Amino acid sequence: MVFIRATMAPMTVFDPPIAPLSEALRCVQVSGVFYCPSELSEPWGVELPPMDDCVWFHAVIEGSCTLEVEGQIQEIRAGDLIVIPHGSGHRAWGAEPAPTPSVFDLPHDHVNEQYAVLRHGGGGEMTRLVCGGVRLHHPAARPLIDALPAVIHTEPVGSARSDWIWSTLELIAEETRTVRPGGEAVVSRLCDIVVIQAIRSWMDRDPAARVGWLGALRDPQVGGVIAAIHADPAADWTVAALAEVAAMSRSAFASRFTGLVGESAMRYVARWRMAVAADLLAESGTTVGGAAAAVGYDSEAAFSRAFKRVTGANPRESKRSLTQ
């Protein structure tokens, strides 16, 4: 499977309180995508191994199947959409348990590097799936993905949002029936929409979306602070400066931030800066000094110490590994 890197849109500053959450969702833009319509006939089974930084989605177009993710077994039917945010390994099979070979060991009809059709099984009753994988590299997308559950299951409930999801999947299917100019770009953007709509659907209905980092983004004071940190990682942030953004006393702000986010404000600033720096180092034209300056460090040595403290790696070594 090959993932194709795409260009990210520039960051935009939003106004709180909905702004930080909007920013996080806006940053769920793919830097790679693989799309695979699958025709699976009884008896059949497949397995996808774990893949870091990959968000999988599977939509059941026809028939039904059983899906196992991290020990959770779910029956999914026509109209269901499953999103697996953390790249967890998972298995699927039809009406009866069957061997589950790795999907990568099965023959595919490759249209190009991004699209392939899988036909597999014993020739019986057919199940049709739309399967896809996307990769996300923007630093703001990472804490959002980390906050999501192991599986997001969206069922066809007739809502406007579920109708949008299925209309989008139909557009993806239409784009991949024939090779046309711009098809890769169209499918990449449509996959963005599918993943974002599934995440929004989960956030609307699940109480878990009201706590932790996601809950902090909804908070008028702390959400505004997170937006400010994201918008300007190079600023001379201190607890006092961040408390001023929140219009709170220093002690009240420090307590509220830690209580909602689960770590101190300055720890969050440090992690955000190093996440931004790591993305910059992955670009071939960015030097260690350039990455340091972009996140507020005048001294390359001080930046290197901070980078290693947060990430556990030397920035020069990281750059070599990221750009190989």
Q: How would you classify residue 244: left for phi > 0, otherwise alpha for psi between -120 and 50, otherwise beta? A: alpha
Burial zone of 15 (CB within 10 Å; 0-12 exposed, 13-18 middle, 19+ buried): exposed
What is d(CA 307, CA 154) in angstroms, rounded to the nearest whole number?
39
Q: State the amino acid at position 20 in one-letter form.
A: P
Beta pairing, strands 90-93 & 64-69: antiparallel
Give me the tens of pLDDT residue by residue for the chain, a chain 324 residues long.
333 333 333 333 334 444 566 666 665 655 666 778 899 999 999 999 998 778 898 988 889 999 999 989 999 998 888 999 998 999 999 999 999 999 999 999 887 777 788 999 999 999 999 888 887 666 667 777 888 899 999 876 555 556 777 788 778 777 766 667 777 677 777 877 788 788 888 887 888 777 788 888 888 899 989 989 988 999 999 999 999 999 999 999 999 999 999 999 999 999 999 989 988 888 878 899 999 999 999 999 999 999 999 989 899 988 877 666
- Count the Cβ atoms, other than its own, within 10 Å of residue 243: 21
Q: Residue 212 has which token pair? A: 């932790």
C-beta contacts of 181-189 below 8 A and 24+ residues apart: 184/4, 184/112, 184/114, 187/33, 187/35, 187/114, 187/115, 188/4, 188/6, 188/30, 188/33
What is d(CA 62, CA 79) in angstroms, rounded to the nearest whole number?
8
Q: Which of 84, 7, 93 is nearest to 52 (CA)?
A: 84
Q: State the amino acid at position 240 in one-letter form.
A: A
Residue ranges and CATH numbers for the domains of the chain are: 19-207 (2.60.120.280), 219-323 (1.10.10.60)
